[in-house]
Chain A
Amino acid sequence: SQELEQSPQSLIVQEGKNLTINCTSSKTLYGLYWYKQKYGEGLIFLMMLQKGGEEKSHEKITAKLDEKKQQSSLHITASQPSHAGIYLCGAGRSGNTPLVFGKGTRLSVIA
């Protein structure tokens, strides 16, 4: 079965700093999703990557999927307190299968 490993498990950054979160899969990724979760709440969809080498950006968040489609990174530029939360990567084995998730990366942004 597919497994996703996220690193780091937790991250504390000073406001204004850049940061990167990684997600590594044990198998080739069909579709890779990034979600953000506030503690104890539902998941907010950020981005989905499907093609090797694909890169997407939304506001100050950029996600990339490597050429071999086994690793993705999420990069936040000039972090703000509003970026704080748990970032989860999820992957589907094919088009309409449910997602397997990593354990998440807990991000804290301090002033």
Chain B
Amino acid sequence: EPEVTQTPSHQVTQMGQEVILRCVPISNHLYFYWYRQILGQKVEFLVSFYNNEISEKSEIFDDQFSVERPDGSNFTLKIRSTKLEDSAMYFCASSKGNQPQHFGDGTRLSIL
């Protein structure tokens, strides 16, 4: 069964540095998402992306965040200047729209 793949599985970054999290959604999916899960807390919606533009974004997704689909297969989340509170597990998901989202295994981001 096709899967959403995320790299790296664990990213350690110094505070203030830029970080890019990468995702390869399922190939025939059209909607792409990023979610965040701070340790011990619930999964929170960050942003959805469709037709090469952001569909919706949450309050968490401020100017420090950006997303991009640089080619036909990758979907990236960039954090421009990381803060300690950005430490979390970041999940990528994809779907065909009105179908369940399929999630990757996540990238654990640790900010030092």
A binds B: no
Q: Which positions in A face B, CB cutoff 8 Å?
A: none
